[in-house]
Amino acid sequence: MQKEAAIREPLILGHKTYHDVTEDVCRPIEDKAPKMWYILFGIALVIGLYGVGSIMYLLGTGIGVWGLNKTIGWAWDITNFVWWVGIGHAGTLISAVLLLFRQKWRMAINRSAEAMTIFAVFMAGTFPLIHMGRLWVGYWVMPIPNQFGSLWVNFNSPLLWDVFAISTYLSVSLVFWYIGLIPDFATIRDRAKKPLAKKMYSILSFGWSGRAKHWNRFELVSLVLAGLATPLVFSVHSIVSFDFATSVIPGWHTTIFPPYFVAGAVFSGFAMVQTLLLIMRKAMGLEAYIHTKHVEYMNIVIMVTGSIVGTAYITELFISWYSGVEYESYAFINRATGPYWWAYWSMMTCNVVSPQLMWFRPLRRSLLFTFFISIVVNIGMWFERYVIIVTSIHRDYIPAAWSMHFPSHIDIAVYIGTIGLFFVFFLLFARFFPVLALNEVKTILKGSGQSYKESPDYHKHH
């Protein structure tokens, strides 16, 4: 006899049956795409191609077309790289960590969050590659036996650990996402009318039949992968932070970087999930499955991670003063009052102040407010990376070498281009793949569906 609090809101609104869930999720895939989809896809494609063109120009002309100079060797591109990797953290976190904690609310959002992870990691990967300048020798970063005599990667370098961490992260996320899709592909395969669609989805579904043995294996693999992916969430962004933390540049060599980068990544990732899901639930008519309750849970995560990030900023400021190293103190004073003060204060406002508004329940549950804050947070997190990278190196020990970084139009084009490509991938995903883990949503229908919670039958049994 299990008692459930009447307080807890249903996760699935409306009086949905198992059949309704299938219908709602499969409709966008089986019908013709709405006009809006084509418009958005067209815009994203144009922006993406603009970015690709800029990258081609960059490779043909050289890194000099960026706003970099001798003092500032890393700037806009590495900022974008860290930003995209950070966005890629929410998916695996929502899926893996919440799966291990048996959280039911993840079911409605995990599929799109995982897809977002994969596309974000794709986008992130392009930046270090084009930063190399000579893309065609990119394979030199792999520790492969070669005929170059003594050319071998430096295992002491965190930049090499980056290569391993991100490729591992991508492959585990990809497998995790795909395995989750298999039962849903089978559902679409069984419903498909057109022979081509039937053939495609039957190849994708790997002969899934829904037997108990299949489900058993599915559950086991999901658990094992979740167990593998959880440490990856922490390791990947810690390693990205080592790119800075292992150097001796004031403002960079800080031991607090790994935990604070991880919190920041989860923070920006969840904000991006909010941005995408709020648009998608409207576009795909999934308001019954992704509603205020999910938004509220995610806002709580944003609030907690935002508070951790804020604490980290203040700790950094304190340590720069407490260490008694004048160079370190200068780095921070220069951040807050130097030529880049506007970036520093934008970061502070967006990342420290805005999430604190989530303490108020009406704001936390307002979809419009959430949408606004989710964009603000991602702007703030971009500024955070920019502040860490540029303001720490633009004024170093020799005043003669002081310099400013101004992004060139190619810098901006490549960045905007990756956002375009990200949306191209995401829109294609939303068109041909089930954006809701429909077979997983069905597992919680009896326990968290509105009609089941309100039925006299339910109260009799519980």
164 lies in some domain: yes
8 lies in some domain: no
For residue 18, what are the contacts with CB-CB under 8 A and spacing of at least 6?
A: 442, 445
pLDDT of residue 450: 65
259 lies in some domain: yes
pLDDT of residue 50: 92
pLDDT of residue 194: 79
Alpha carbon distance 50, 284 (integer Å): 28
Mean pLDDT for back-to-back runs of 10 residues, the chain (462 residues): 59 70 71 80 92 88 80 83 87 79 77 88 86 77 72 80 86 87 82 79 79 84 86 86 83 83 87 86 75 84 88 87 81 82 87 85 84 89 88 82 82 90 89 78 68 56 51
pLDDT of residue 48: 92
178 lies in some domain: no
113 lies in some domain: yes
Range of the domain at 320: 28-173+230-453
pLDDT of residue 458: 52
pLDDT of residue 455: 59
Tell me the backbone φ, ψ of residue 408, rounded to 5 degrees: -85, 175
pLDDT of residue 7: 60
140 lies in some domain: yes
286: CATH: 1.20.1630.10
pLDDT of residue 46: 94
109 lies in some domain: yes
pLDDT of residue 149: 66
pLDDT of residue 4: 53
pLDDT of residue 99: 75
pLDDT of residue 420: 92
pLDDT of residue 157: 82
How do residues 45-79 score in pLDDT, each as one tens digit? 999 999 999 888 888 888 888 878 777 778 888 88
321 lies in some domain: yes
Count of domains forming the chain = 1
